[in-house]
A and B are shown apart, each in its own frame.
Chain A
Amino acid sequence: MRPSTEPQPRTSGVALPPDPIIRFENVSKNWGTNHVLKSLNFDVAPGEKVSIIGPSGSGKTTILRILMTLETPSEGKVTVDGDTLWDVSLGQKVRETRQLRETRKKIGMVFQQFNLFPHMTAMENIIEAPIHVLGMNKAEARERAAELLNLVGLGKHMNHTPPQMSGGQQQRVAIARALAMRPKVLLFDEPTSALDPELIGEVLNVIRNLAHTTDMTMLMVTHEMRFAEEISDRVVMFDNGAAVESGPPAQIFKDPQQERTRSFLRAVLQH
């Protein structure tokens, strides 16, 4: 528990670890009597690649959705890059403030179901927000989008619409779309769960590449344990609305300290 809700002094003379880019302070989320998150305290350091694992319904996706402002927390405070995203103690007015909208621009999200705009080409999907949110001019936005499509290996598909593409291709366009906003934090919500098994690899390759080559903070909810082990700086095990265990992947996967983590990993790694 932190002692107060006062803003953290950012100009402390003593050498401290860098301010977290994401901070959850006593965040709870309730759906009626169902407590999806229970007074969660959770920090992510700038540039850190964190994977969140755990059984369905453990609240992992809710963390991402609160960060992306797709859900409102019931209690607590969330800060991103030093700016308050949510502060429930200030009342319901926190919803859709200017500050929230500004802070939200630092965050991007890749969805399980891709959520590309089906009536727009890959190119149009990618340039929409840079033009209309960041105010980029069209030529610049298109150039950047073409680079991003090449980065995800889809340079030749810029004029295809989502229904003309495979799931793996759609998800790669969705990643390019998120990257086009130059987010400081990129969230992945089970990015390969909706894909046919033979298409998972191409998407994981793109994410792996990002993890190794960018200093973007990445937070990923995944069931791909070996992938999480390979690319993460830290793995957090969630169960029942709380972080059960957190540590470097080698520790979580090879030497878990909690019985709950052990039983979960036994179950998912068995097959």
Chain B
Amino acid sequence: MIWDNAFAISILPILLQGLWTTVHITVVGTLLAAGLGLVFAVLRRLAIPVLSKVIAFLVVFVRGTPLLVQAYVAFFVLPSYGISFDALTTGIVVIGVNYSAYMAEVYRSGIQGVSKGQWEAATALSLPGTRTWGRIVLPQAIRTVVPMLGNYLIQMFKDSAVLSAITVVELMATAQAIGSSNFRYLEPLTLAALLFLAVSYPASRLVNRLERRYAPQH
């Protein structure tokens, strides 16, 4: 198979649309995962009797099963039980919840890294719990885990290709569709790979910079 430049250029606009969807999934999915993961991590640390167990189970379940299976169940099985959304929304929620389980662990390590003395100083000043978490513990915890969260963002960007299995027309699905309808896979798949790289490489450079910036201060 020989590279066809004219064909490659002709499919680029559609691929860029796919890339846009992939970026959309990644941004919204990461926001969801980062928010939900933080809530999970804090709730687990608060050791609320039943809730903490439920969250612990959820984290184990999500981390222990393939993302593809979770996406399938959410998109093809849950509608039989009356829970039904379009493919994109379902995809974003599934990938967001999936990554929230990993991010919860990241936050947990960050929270554990905050010294006992910080909690004790907050107690000695009678600071209310919300203030202790919001102003003292989490700013320090999150600061140290920002680079790790960034790495998960890049990973999610690539992982979102899995959602092509549930008919989300992101970059990978677009490339495959072009390939099968034109019987030419070389150009769309190569371009898809380059487009993934064009976003993920600068992103990982950025994460490296964040790593240096947010390195522990002492």
Binding site for B on A (CB under 8 A): 68-70, 101, 104-105, 107-109, 111, 113, 115-119, 128-129, 132-133, 163, 177-178, 181
Query: A113-B117, A115-B117, A117-B136 in contact; A163/B124 too (CB < 8 A)?
Result: no
Chain A interface secondary structure, helix, strand, loop or mixed? loop
Additional A-B contact list (20), CB under 8 Å, known A70-B124, A107-B124, A128-B127: A104-B126, A105-B126, A111-B124, A115-B115, A115-B121, A115-B124, A117-B136, A117-B140, A118-B218, A128-B131, A128-B135, A129-B126, A132-B131, A132-B135, A133-B126, A133-B128, A163-B217, A177-B125, A178-B125, A181-B126
How would residues 2 to 42 of chain B score, 1 for a CB under 8 Å from any chain A CB and 0 otherwise? 00000000000000000000000000000000000000000
Contact B124 A109 (CB under 8 A): yes
Binding site for A on B (CB under 8 A): 115, 117-118, 120-121, 123-128, 131, 135-136, 139-140, 143, 217-218
Distance in angstroms between the alpha carbons of A70 and B119 in the assembled complex: 10
Contacts of A68 in B (CB 8 A): 120, 123-124
A–B complex contacts, Cβ < 8 Å, 24 sampled: A68-B120, A68-B124, A69-B123, A104-B123, A104-B126, A105-B126, A108-B124, A111-B120, A111-B121, A115-B124, A117-B118, A117-B121, A117-B136, A118-B140, A118-B218, A119-B139, A128-B131, A129-B125, A129-B126, A133-B128, A163-B218, A177-B125, A178-B124, A181-B126
Query: A132-B127, A181-B125 in contact; A115/B120 too (CB < 8 A)?
Result: yes
Contacts of A132 in B (CB 8 A): 127-128, 131, 135
User: In angstroms, how far is the closest chain A Cβ from the Cβ of B121?
Assistant: 4
Q: Closest residue of chain A to B124, judged by CB?
A: A109
Contact A70 B126 (CB under 8 A): no
User: In angstroms, how far is the closest chain B Cβ from the Cβ of A11?
Assistant: 30
Contacts of A118 in B (CB 8 A): 140, 217-218
Contacts of A177 in B (CB 8 A): 125
User: In angstroms, how far is the closest chain B Cβ from the Cβ of A105?
Assistant: 5
User: In angstroms, how far is the closest chain B Cβ from the Cβ of A218?
Assistant: 15
Contacts of A101 in B (CB 8 A): 126
Q: Closest residue of chain B to A103, judged by CB?
A: B126
Within the complex, which residue of B118, B139, B143, B217 is in contact with A115, where a contact is CB–CB below 8 Å?
A: B118
Contact A119 B126 (CB under 8 A): no
User: In angstroms, how far is the closest chain A Cβ from the Cβ of B130?
Assistant: 9
